[in-house]
Amino acid sequence: MSTEAIIGSVISGLSTGMVFFLVAAGLSVIFGALDIINLAHGSFYMVGTFFCFQSTLWLGSIPGVYWWTVILAPIGVALVGGLTERVFLRRIYDVHILYQLILTFAFILIVEEFCKLIWGVGYHTISVPWPLTGAVSIGGMRFPVYNLFLIGFGIVTFVGLEALFHSTGLGKTIRGVTYNREMAGALGINVPLVYTGVFMLGCWLAGLAGTLMAPMTVVKLGSDMDVLLNCFIVVVIGGLGSLPGAFIGATILGLVTSFGIAIVPGLAIVFGFLLMAIILIIRPYGLMGERVE
């Protein structure tokens, strides 16, 4: 591969990786605190893309319309998530994992059908917003500005989340609940509220990822499944429940996929799952997860 191709793959891999991170971060955080694998996480991402599209329709031609959707759409997704948690998930926290998996799978179906109902089966597009259109030249190569923006945004989000978890009272509360639910409850922490809050945070992140990703791809049904499986690979590599792990895992997956497509296009899809299986076999708690017996 030429240097250009390599760097091109790196940039593309990193920006895809950052989007993976944004989605997977939510999944990881939810698993860490609530001990639930939320299969519908990809669906929240997809709802994010649709909310983004819908917002652009509603807000019409006010200046900076896209940036307004970045604020609104994820909040909308978070609200949907909060509702879901309060009404449904709350009842299955301590039940056999099979029921959690199947219930959240049912959500995938329901969300897809609702999206189909509301927005139909067609594709929609959102144009890359000003001022991130076009490409820049660095060292004689051209990179889409938006990709670079995504990389930067991902890093900022990661730093922000880490700060939230480690330096704020809220973050400490969340971590307390994660480590020992009963103890936290005994100390007067409103555990159900924390659960709802964490779940909403996870959905907010997924919705944000969807909104940010919308200009780069098409808004369509089925995007939930594409994202979901990648999400799993990321959190497995990084370690369920670990935010830094999700960051590293997403970066690795982004790069592996990007290079995989460049080098061996036919087998690219196998790589992700192979990586996932290998990690689960040799180090199931991932690169940075907590050791489980």
Partner 1 sequence: MKEFFKGITGINRVWLAVVFSVFLVLPFILSPSWLSITTEILILSVAACGLNLLIGYCGRVNFGPAGLYGVGAYATGLLLEKTGIPFAVAMIGGPVIAGIIALPVGWFCVRRTSHYFALLSLAFGQIIWAAIHSWYSFTGGDDGIAGIRTPDFLMSIPSYYYFTLVIFAICLVVLWMICNSTFGKTLQAIRENPHRVEFIGINVRKYLLIAFIIHGFFLGAAGSLYCGFSHAIFPVYASFLKGNDILIPCILGGIYNFIGPVVGVTVYIFLSKVISAYTMYWLLFLGIVIVLVVLFLRGGIVGFISEKLSPAMQRRGVSGDTRG
Residues that bind partner 1 (CB under 8 A): 37, 88, 91-92, 95-99, 101-103, 105-110, 112-114, 116-117, 225, 229, 232, 236, 240, 266-267, 269-270, 273-274, 276-277, 280-281, 284, 292
Shortest Å, Cβ 108 to partner 1: 8
Contact present, 26 and 232 (Cβ < 8 Å)? no
Distance between alpha carbon 71 and the CA centroid of its chain, in Å? Answer: 16
- In this complex, which beta carbon is closest to partner 1, that of residue 60 or of residue 96? 96
Containing H/E element for 170?
helix 169-179
Pairwise CA distance, residues 282 & 240, whole Å: 15
Q: CA-CA distance, 39 to 31, in Å (whole number)?
A: 11
Residues 6+ apart with CB under 8 A from 54: 119
| Closer CB to partner 1, 38 or 173, in the complex | 38
**Smallest gap, in angstroms, from Cβ of residue 243 to partner 1?**
18
CA dihedral over 124, 265, 21, 175, signed as positive or negative: positive
Minimum separation from the CB atom of position 215 to partner 1 (A): 28
Please identify, using beta-carbon distances, which residue of 14 and 235 lies nearer to partner 1: 235
For residue 290, the minimal CB distance to partner 1 (Å) is: 13
Least CB distance from residue 197 to partner 1, whole Å?
A: 22
For residues 221 and 51, give the distance between their C-alpha atoms in angstroms, rounded to a whole number: 13
Cα-based torsion angle of the residue sequence 159, 284, 14, 225 in order, rounded to the nearest 10 degrees: -110
- Choose between 58 and 99: whose C-beta lies nearer to partner 1: 99
**Identity of the residue, 85 or 112, whose beta carbon is nearer to partner 1 in the bound complex:** 112
Closest CB to partner 1 among 97 and 186? 97
Residue 127 CB, shortest distance to partner 1, in Å, is 30
> How far from 83 is each of 36, 39, 109, CA to CA, in Å?
16, 16, 17
